[in-house]
């Protein structure tokens, strides 16, 4: 069996949960390989990637701050990465370095598994935040059939830029009106860093939100953010962020190892511990 080397590149990267996820699957499926966290400073990205690939690496996950700069180092990118404008996975195909992005898949797959049968086409989705993660989530929502997305970000200009992904579907509103836009929403997604351990909670009043709306938070530390607790307390279905992290890893693993892995309770517990 060929020994397959891969890993996550970022700076810093020691906090990454990806080695736990991929090494769990290598063991679970009886494969031969290892997955490491590899710290690369931006100015050394080109040379380090080349030398790692020359030494036999099959590919990488790419995290902050390299998700956009890595695009220039790919021989080609698939349509998903081009649409999102960021690469989170590199793999080799016929000797070429291909960039893809699995974050949109991870987000949508998680929502669909947590809320089977969810139809995001019939009511607006409200997306809070316009950072790196929001790009993939907007693309995922549009791909999954969203007809109307209301996007709000503290820095409105960043939301305006993201709205160019599809200006027929995405409408930008001011951050300050976030309570009011919940009235008809079918799905609310927090993609900001608010609610994360060590950060302020997301200040939002859910009173106007319909009871059958789904509330999703991509923050996963803590798993139940104040937003999700408030939503659950008033009867809304909630989707935690850990599933996005786990599902985005699956297609990357498949590219390198040829096996589409699944998520089990042991893996979830390992990642949350
Ligand atoms: P990012 O690019 O740095 O974007 C941060 C976002 O949070 C921006 O929209 C920013 O607004 C907003 N924000 C930060 N502080 C704020 C405040 N005090 N008030 C209002 N808005 C504020 O980060 P990212 O990569 O998109 O990640 C965002 C969060 O998602 C992080 O917590 C990250 O851990 C999590 N995440 C989870 C997954 C997963 O798999 N579950 C994947 C990716 C990211 P401005 O534009 O105004 O600064």
Name the token pair of 133. Answer: 């993660």
- Which residue owns the Cα nearest ligand 1 atom 34? 219
DSSP state of 144: T
Compute the distance between CA of residue 171 and CA of residue 164 in angstroms, rounded to an integer.
10
- Look at ligand 1, atom 12, and give the residue with the nearest C-alpha: 192
Determine the atom of ligand 1 nearest the C-alpha atom of 245.
40
Q: Pick from 35, 45, 34: which is nearest to 10 by CA?
A: 45
Ligand 1 shell residues, CB under 6 Å: 129-134, 153-155, 158, 191-194, 196, 200, 218-220, 241, 244-245, 248
Q: What would the mean pLDDT of 52-67 be, rounded to a whole number?
A: 96
pTM here?
0.95
Looking at ligand 1, which residue's alpha carbon is closest to its atom 21? 154
pLDDT, tens digit, 9 for 90 and up, residues 82-135: 999 999 999 999 999 999 999 999 999 999 999 999 999 999 999 999 998 999
Question: Pick the catalytic residue: 67, 83, 148, 255?
Answer: 67
Q: Active-site residue 82, yes or no?
A: no
Q: Which two tokens stand for residue 45?
A: 């990205």
- In the reported structure, the alpha carbon of residue 27 is separated from the centroid of ligand 1 by a whole-number distance in angstroms of 32
pLDDT tens string 127-171: 999 998 999 999 999 999 999 999 999 999 999 999 999 999 999
Return the closest-CA partner of residue 175 out of 197, 149, 157: 157
Distance in Å, CA 93 to ligand 1 centroid: 32
């Amino acid at each position: 069996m060929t020994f397959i080397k891969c890993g996550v590149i970022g700076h810093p990267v020691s906090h990454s949960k990806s080695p736990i996820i991929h090494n769990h699957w290598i063991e679970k499926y009886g494969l031969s390989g290892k997955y490491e966290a590899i710290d690369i400073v931006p100015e050394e990205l080109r040379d380090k990637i080349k030398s790692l690939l020359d030494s036999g690496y099959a590919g990488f996950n790419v995290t902050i701050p390299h998700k956009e700069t890595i695009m220039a180092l790919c021989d080609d990118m698939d349509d998903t990465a081009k649409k999102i404008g960021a690469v989170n996975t590199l793999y080799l195909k016929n000797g070429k370095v291909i960039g893809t992005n699995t974050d949109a898949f991870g987000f949508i797959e998680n929502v669909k598994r947590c809320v089977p049968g969810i139809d995001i086409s019939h009511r607006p989705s409200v997306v809070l935040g316009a950072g790196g993660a929001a790009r993939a989530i907007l693309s995922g929502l549009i791909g999954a059939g969203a007809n109307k997305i209301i996007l709000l970000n503290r820095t409105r200009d960043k939301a305006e830029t993201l709205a160019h992904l599809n200006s027929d579907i995405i409408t930008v509103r001011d951050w300050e009106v976030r309570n009011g836009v919940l009235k008809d929403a079918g799905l609310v997604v927090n993609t900001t860093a608010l609610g994360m351990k060590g950060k302020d909670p997301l200040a939002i009043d859910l009173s106007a939100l319909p009871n059958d709306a789904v509330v999703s938070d991509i923050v996963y530390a803590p798993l139940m953010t104040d937003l999700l607790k408030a939503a659950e307390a008033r009867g809304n279905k909630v989707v935690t962020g850990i599933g996005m992290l786990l599902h985005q890893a699956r297609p990357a693993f498949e590219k390198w190892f040829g096996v589409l892995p699944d998520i089990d309770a042991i893996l979830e517990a390992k990642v949350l511990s």
